[in-house]
Amino acid sequence: MLRRIRAREWPPGAAIPNEADLAVEFGCARATVNRALRDLAAAGVLERRRRAGTRVAAAPAGRAQLEIPVLHRDVEESGAAYGYRLISRATEPPPLPLALRLGLDPARPLLHLCSLHLADDAPHVFEDRWINPAAVPEILSVDLERVSANEWLVENTPFSAGDMRISAEAAEAEVARYLGAAAGAALLVVERSTRRDAAVITHVRQFFAPGHRIDLALSTG
Amino acid sequence: MLRRIRAREWPPGAAIPNEADLAVEFGCARATVNRALRDLAAAGVLERRRRAGTRVAAAPAGRAQLEIPVLHRDVEESGAAYGYRLISRATEPPPLPLALRLGLDPARPLLHLCSLHLADDAPHVFEDRWINPAAVPEILSVDLERVSANEWLVENTPFSAGDMRISAEAAEAEVARYLGAAAGAALLVVERSTRRDAAVITHVRQFFAPGHRIDLALSTG
């Protein structure tokens, strides 16, 4: 498939045949085709879109890899000491807009955690997280005063799909207070939700302390 | 190499042998090894760090591909009409901190462009860009009133390395005015520089209008 893409037999933007047809054509198992398609998508050669199917990616100008941050690891790699503080823990229904966006029953309670990640005792990230105990029942027996949900979920809960959104927001009073920032300060906000098959695992909004930057190396082609 | 990584003969974090040794071992040209290493790095399997060399990437929790945006294309894909306006064009030395950061002679003038990208006639991105004419002499004969440098460079200037930084900033008065935002509004800022070999091609800061979000799909493994 890569040879065909490179030779422009399948040009940028072209829809590629479905898995079943490719398996017949290449004389291999459909699971093999599926794995190859996933690898090509992970490498950015193919784009898998919900409605448009799998297409050859438009020749990109350059790209960067962005990984789900394990804050513990990031802070320590920067040379600072990592700290973590659970601010609140509740079992409650999510706000209606969030429930609708995630496709969850708004009446069903989720685990709601607010926490603070620290670097050298200074606030680094304020985290507002919802966890679906129906998808991750084990979370209810984790000591979340000691281990952050960020770390526990990354290590223990494989996901099959997810999305990430990066934005800038003016700090609301409560978030500003925890981050030691002025209300209205410009904050980098990273929002993620992950799913295993159809089940929502978690939805999180991470508010980074003012001045935080995400640094990435660009690669070509 | 991928087989060795999957089999953990080369475990996460391990430094891998240098190109010359790999070429001998696999009995192939060094250019072939180099291309394979680049592909593995682009797929996120290897990490190439300036000082630490090439290592097997730590098993990531999930990752997303972020591409250099061609604003024209992005705006049109969102269903809006794209517009572009050159605000200023000057040939002048860069500010000292920028020159030092890019490793450029602070006395040598660069092409300095400020421009506005529009979506359905509303401000979308304010762009502050420096271009090194020593690396891209052709830029001096491009009609930059008509074609944005963003578009022209992406299409005409391959780069070999680059970096990207994402941050949130309070809008300064001039940027706020062009974006039709309140001074101090939280803006998402994407900063990039690209090089061809050692030569800096361009450095750009793009200030997105308030409320802009970068949406990414997460993939695993």
Which residues of chain B carry a pLDDT beneath 50?
A: none
Domain shared by A22 and A120, yes or no: no
Secondary structure tally for chain A: helices H, strands E: 7, 10
Interface with chain B: mutation pick from A152, A165, A166, A191, highest number of B CBs within 10 Å: A166
Q: What is the pLDDT of residue A220?
A: 67
Taking CB atoms and an 8 Å cut-off, how many pairs form between chains A and B? Answer: 169
Torsion over CA: B153, B159, B162, B166 (sign): positive
Residue A193: closest C-alpha in chain B: B218
How distant is the Cα of B87 from the closest Cα of chain A, in angstroms? 24
HEC profile of A173-186: HHHHHHHCCCCCCE
Residue B110 belongs to a domain: yes
Residues B195, B114 share a domain: yes
> Strand pairing partners for A199?
A196
The answer to whether residues B159 and B196 touch, using CB atoms and an 8 Å cutoff, is yes
> Same domain, yes or no, for B76 and B172?
yes
CA A16 to chain centre: 27
* B11, B29, B56 - which closes a domain: B56
**Cβ pair B66:A65 closer than 8 A:** yes
Determine, yes or no, domain membership for A14. Answer: yes
Query: What is the C-alpha separation between A121 and B8, in angstroms, rounded?
Result: 36
pTM of the model: 0.74
Minimal Cβ distance to A42: which of B43, B73, B208: B43
**How many Å lie between the alpha carbon of B152 and the closest alpha carbon of chain A?**
11
The predicted structure's pLDDT at residue A88: 96
pLDDT of the residue at B220: 67
Instruction: Say which residue the tokens 């930084």 belong to.
Output: B165
Min distance A208 CA to chain B CA atoms (Å): 9
Q: Which domain holds residue B42?
A: 1-56
Contact A188, A214 (CB under 8 A): yes
**Distance between CA atoms of A170 and A184, rounded to whole angstroms?**
4
Candidate from B41, B66, B208 with C-beta closest to A66? B66
Half-sphere exposure of A152 (CA within 13 A, CB side): 19
In-domain check, residue A197: yes
Instruction: Collect all residues of chain A within an 8 Å Cβ-Cβ radius of residue B77.
Output: none
User: Please, what is the Cα angle at B47 between A195 and B21, to 5 degrees?
Assistant: 140
- Has residue A216 been placed in a domain? no
**Which residues, other chains included, contact B47 with Cβ-Cβ below 8 Å and sequence gap of 6+?**
B41, B54, B55, B56, B57, B58
Strand partners, A131: A111, A202
Would you give the distance in Å from CA A213 to the centre of its chain? 17
Flag whether the ipTM exceeds 0.85: no
- Looking at the 3D structure of chain A, how many domains does it have? 2
Residue B146 falls in which region: left (phi positive, over 0), alpha (psi -120 to 50) or beta: alpha
What are the DSSP E strand ranges found in A60-150? 63-67, 82-92, 110-119, 122-131
pLDDT of residue B177: 97
CB atoms within 10 A of CB B202: 25
B46 in the same domain as B84: no
- CATH number of the domain encompassing residue B20: 1.10.10.10
Work out the minimum CA distance from A96 to partner chain B, whole angstroms.
21
One digit per residue, the tens of pLDDT, for chain A of length 221 reads 877 876 667 877 788 888 899 999 888 999 889 888 887 776 667 877 666 678 887 665 667 777 777 788 788 878 889 999 999 999 999 999 999 989 999 999 999 999 999 999 999 999 999 999 999 999 999 999 988 898 888 878 888 888 889 999 999 999 999 999 999 999 999 999 999 888 999 999 999 999 999 888 887 65
Q: Does residue B123 lie within any of the structural domains? A: yes
Distance CA A175, CA A170 (A): 10
Distance CA A154, CA A142 (A): 14
Please, which residues have CB within 8 angstroms of residue A147's CB and are 6 or more apart in sequence? Answer: A84
DSSP 8-class letter at A202: E
Q: Supply the pLDDT for residue B201.
A: 94
Which chain A residues are within 8 Å of B169, Cβ to Cβ? 168, 186
